[in-house]
Homo-oligomer: A and B are copies of this chain.
Amino acid sequence: MTPGPGIQHDVRMSGFVERKSFAEVWKIIQDRIRPGEAESTSLRDACDRVLAEDVVSPVAVPCFDRSAMDGYAVLAEETSGASDYNPLEFQVIGEAYPGRAFEGRAGPGQAVKVMTGAAIPDGANAVMMAEYAEAEASRVRFRRQVTPGKNIMRAGEDVARGDVVLARGRRLRPQDIGVLASVHRPAVLAYRSPTVAVLITGNELVEPGQAADGTCIVDSNSYVIGGLVRRYGGIPMHREILPDRAETIRAAIRECREDLVVVSGGSSVGEEDYAPGIVRELGELVVHGVAIKPGSPFGLGFIDGRAVFLLPGSPVAAMVTADAFVGSAIRRKLGLDVGFAYPRLRCRLLQKVVSAIGRTEFVRVHLHEDFTVEKLRVSGSSILTSTTRADGFLVIDDAIEGYPEGSMVDVYRYGS
């Protein structure tokens, strides 16, 4: 694309030697960032963690035939012909409760009273519901016939011994933890949550609440990046804000021992943009400049095998690149593929949205109750409140010029 006065974005980016596409950066992250170690994790801490093993059940669940109803356990064949007009009488020889089995055996003409969840006694193969039985002292009359297996939950009906109940790569849900408990696993192997160093650079930045002279602004990026790191399953490790000095930034990057390093600010090609040169000097700068909007002054390098992400300082650009690239790197460390942490919805666009071919655009949208969406009006990459007013975003591929009004589009939804 030839830079020209009408295409400010590309004019600004003329300083980048080679802009990668969004898909190329995702492919680099997918290929070069490998899953981290696994660690034993107790069930009470396992929710939302990612499973690092296939869990094979050593047991059947339930491990015995259970009654699915309150009623009477009998040999089904003996109830043949029972009806309202021809009730058949049995002797009640005992009771079975959950956790308290009847130890004897039901013989001919005999039944055992059972509660839901109780073990089916030997000699019985069906449960007559209490509603079709009339009990009187130790006798009971059945007004229905039952077939073998009726009202019985068979051993192994939930889980068979040897079943893979949950597979590696599963982000564990509450019900998954229940299933892990039910197959007698007090702990599982889960991927260790990756640590992420969050380095914020900028002479103009202060902490919230800190007295500031008239030309300082508050660092918001560390809060947004920290929250996103947690959302994707990582652990953010914050530092003091760094001044725009090459030697300070270099030292801070070199000292990082976290699994991933994020540097916010100074990622472009301006005078005080030191980070790209430092990564090139200490390791390999694989990406510098990406054909996305917002977020084009993004860089990605590797130092001693550790991925270093260079995020633009502009708040919306920092958020978009943290979401798309740092988030995907955390997912890779957790054994997952690159992707977003947000639910994907199919929505109808209320107005056309235009985009430039050759650039992937992230468009913040309002989402209505009826699954229609419209583009937010204010969307400058410095307007952080545009990300709080938005309900989500859509991604316009670099191969298309946008979408006409009425198109069905995929929307990633913030919040739940």
- Give chain A's interface residues, CB within 8 Å of chain B: 5, 8, 11-12, 14, 43-44, 47, 61-64, 66, 68-70, 97-101, 115-119, 129, 131, 144, 153, 157-159, 165-166, 171, 173-186, 202-205, 207-209, 214-228, 230-231, 238, 244, 270-272, 313-315, 319, 341-343, 345-346, 371, 380, 382-385, 387-388, 413-416
Contacts and interface: CB of A to CB of B under 8 A. Distances in A.
A135 to B, nearest CB: 12
A165 B100 CA distance: 60
Contacts of A185: 208-209
Q: Which among A66, A176, A319 has the highest number of chain B CB atoms within 10 Å?
A: A176
Contact of A99 (B44, B159, B165, B216): B216
A416 B171 CA distance: 9
A178 B224 contact: yes
A243 B328 CA distance: 47
A101 B214 CA distance: 9
Contacts of A387: 175, 178
Contact of A226 (B14, B44, B182): B44
15 contacts: A12-B69, A12-B129, A47-B230, A63-B214, A98-B204, A100-B203, A174-B226, A175-B227, A175-B414, A181-B223, A182-B217, A182-B315, A185-B209, A343-B343, A343-B345
Given A117-B202, A166-B388, A175-B227, 19 more contacts: A11-B129, A12-B129, A43-B223, A47-B231, A64-B214, A68-B382, A97-B204, A115-B271, A115-B272, A117-B313, A157-B382, A158-B385, A177-B223, A177-B224, A178-B223, A181-B219, A181-B223, A184-B209, A186-B208
A171 B388 CA distance: 11
Nearest to A346: B371
A218 B184 contact: yes
Contact of A131 (B11, B345, B382): B11
B100 A383 contact: no
A156 B185 CA distance: 56
A272 B216 CA distance: 68
A71 to B, nearest CB: 10
A158 B384 contact: yes
B208 A388 contact: no
Given A223-B174, A227-B47, A415-B173, A383 B179 contact: no
A97 B178 contact: no
Nearest to A143: B5
B43 A208 contact: yes
A387 B165 CA distance: 12
A272 B62 contact: no
Contacts of A416: 171, 341-343, 416
A231 to B, nearest CB: 6
Contacts of A179: 220, 384-385, 388
B415 A319 contact: no
